[in-house]
Structure 1
């Protein structure tokens, strides 16, 4: 594996391998990448993903380079390609990139010799988020085959929805989208259900944030969203006893879910965040390993 760009590049065996390594490194972190430099190029805001990568890199013993977009040469018109090549030229061993373009990596992957990690690409893919969520599900249920997973919210604009639908089906889960008018996307071939139906039948309910920043000029009124399409206290009571709640965060409390449910007994939202560090450590290790690096 030269780069980590999309879950569509991963077989079920590759996913299992990454999850297994994440569990191993989580139990026994080892700073075996001392002397390596990781460059974190985030062109969109991020709290969990960026911080998680930074902690993962530090736990592996890596030095980190952090792009400041407002003071970099990109403010002078430098391209993403030239910025990436610059970091490669000065000695970075790994590039972690988040960018608003759906396929930003197309212009880099054939021309950059060091590993690239997709930390979020437009509306298309968020593969490391997908891996940490799969780890959370695996820790809960032990396997994926036959699980009913419902993904609810702004499907149309969510890179999480695209990544997770693909990977979960690869792993044998049954995937459903929750129908919200204006947020549907029929191109993935995923069946739609109502929120009430999802709560009654799912093993895993994943809620998505409304992607206001991707709606352009059209503002979305969220005043009745919770009652109409969100996870209310009443809907939560109709969930199966073993069912869990996921959310990639940030959570708009009182919009996609009642604020009292963010840290309820069936919520695994902060467990997801915790799993982000070992998953990203595992991915970095694998890339450096297969690129002739640390292991």
Structure 2
């Protein structure tokens, strides 16, 4: 197993070996979480600071619990009750926690690039403080994508989750892809596994340019021209880096056809500056995940959602609670083990 990262800011340059290191480490911590004593002394004496400049339930609680399960001390920051309201800058806030002895910072912010800026400042100061991106603007959410990957891989092989298990699988990501940092991170991780990733959304939430997302370093781009946009039944295909396959659809049916997994995303109405949808009701009729729509998928299809869920909008309420199809509760459980793994690896744990 290989690990040389000090910060986790993006999955864009993650290697297959690094993915497998995270998966295997998370599997060991999943076993710890089944014990009567769900705590190990791995990070005893270290301080993990959760700098959440944006509201969060699952991610913040998951990181806090993960740190405590590793015996680390935790500090929690809330923007509304902090010195930011008095004019303090974000970097000065980070340096305040640095002066308190912080070893790792978990950062969420509504603007893309803030975790990178803090990581750069820590590097400039030549201090060994690791920075983990817990979601920044419309950029990325690495730990969510890694827990999604872990949830799927442990379903396929509970004892040895690994990237190669997804080779050739079809995974549909449906919903507000335009505003989703989760989708961006999942595109990197899932296409790295060799899976076929099919994006489906209305054209306003899935612009044609999204097709080049994973192809930033490729000389040849395989996306169809604007002239092909009128035929929504034909996917826009991208020939990306080796083993990366990404497809775009402006109708949901071809994305779901024979899919092994379906990931549906929340409509992020708080990020929509314009009226991008005629109505929520129409969106559910055209892109909502229902039992009827799942008949297009493989018989053993499973559904994921990063949360929070708008019941009856992106997924029907009864389907969300059905353990035959839904992996949503497993995602939350997986989040603690995966975030334990990330803090362990960043904190100098030996693999």
C-alpha deviation, 1:71, in angstroms: 1.8
2:86 is the alignment partner of 1:76:
yes
C-alpha deviation, 1:65, in angstroms: 0.6
Out of 162, 170, 192, the position equivalent to 1:148 is 170
Superposed CA deviations along residues 234-275 of structure 1, whole A, max 9, x for unmatched, are 112332112110000111000001111002111101100000
C-alpha deviation, 1:79, in angstroms: 1.5
C-alpha deviation, 1:51, in angstroms: 0.7
Matching of residues 13-92 of structure 1 within 5 Å: 13-28=17-32, 30-92=40-102
Out of 257, 265, 270, the position equivalent to 1:208 is 265
Match of 1:125 in 2: 140
Determine the C-alpha separation between the residues in 2 that align with 1:52 and 1:30. Answer: 16
Out of 95, 116, 119, the position equivalent to 1:109 is 119
Structure 1, gaps ≥5 residues long = none
Q: Which moved more, 1:17-26 or 1:76-85?
A: 76-85
Determine the C-alpha separation between the residues in 2 that align with 1:139 and 1:106. Answer: 31
Structure 1 segments of 4+ aligned residues over 3 angstroms from their partners: 217-220
2:321 is the alignment partner of 1:267:
no
Superposed CA deviations along residues 53-106 of structure 1, whole A, max 9, x for unmatched, are 111011011111111212211111212111111101111111000001111133
C-alpha deviation, 1:31, in angstroms: 2.8
Determine the C-alpha separation between the residues in 2 that align with 1:87 and 1:3. Answer: 17
Out of 145, 150, 160, the position equivalent to 1:135 is 150
Q: TM-score, normalised by structure 1?
A: 0.94
Out of 164, 180, 186, the position equivalent to 1:164 is 186
Superposed CA deviations along residues 97-127 of structure 1, whole A, max 9, x for unmatched, are 0001111133222221300010001011000
Determine the C-alpha separation between the residues in 1 that align with 2:13 and 2:85. Answer: 33
Q: Which moved more, 1:179-188 or 1:162-171?
A: 179-188
Match of 1:240 in 2: 298
Match of 1:181 in 2: 203
Q: Decide which structure has the larger Cα Rg and report it.
A: 2
C-alpha deviation, 1:135, in angstroms: 0.3
C-alpha deviation, 1:219, in angstroms: 7.2
Match of 1:191 in 2: 247
SS at match of 2:85: helix
Q: Which moved more, 1:248-257 or 1:28-37?
A: 28-37
Structure 2, gaps ≥5 residues long = 33-38, 158-164, 214-237, 239-245
Determine the C-alpha separation between the residues in 1 that align with 2:202 and 2:74. Answer: 41
2:339 is the alignment partner of 1:280:
yes
2:15 is the alignment partner of 1:11:
yes
C-alpha deviation, 1:218, in angstroms: 3.8
CA-based RMSD: 1.6
Determine the C-alpha separation between the residues in 1 that align with 2:255 and 2:109. Answer: 32
SS at match of 1:9: coil
CA contact (8 A) 2:62 2:339 kept: yes
Match of 2:35 in 1: none
Out of 189, 213, 223, the position equivalent to 2:281 is 223
SS at match of 1:270: helix
Q: Which has the higher contact order (CA 8 A, sep 6+)?
A: 1
C-alpha deviation, 1:217, in angstroms: 5.3
SS at match of 1:192: strand
CA contact (8 A) 1:212 1:219 kept: no
C-alpha deviation, 1:211, in angstroms: 0.9
SS at match of 1:248: coil
CA contact (8 A) 2:108 2:115 kept: no
Determine the C-alpha separation between the residues in 1 that align with 2:201 and 2:306. Answer: 19
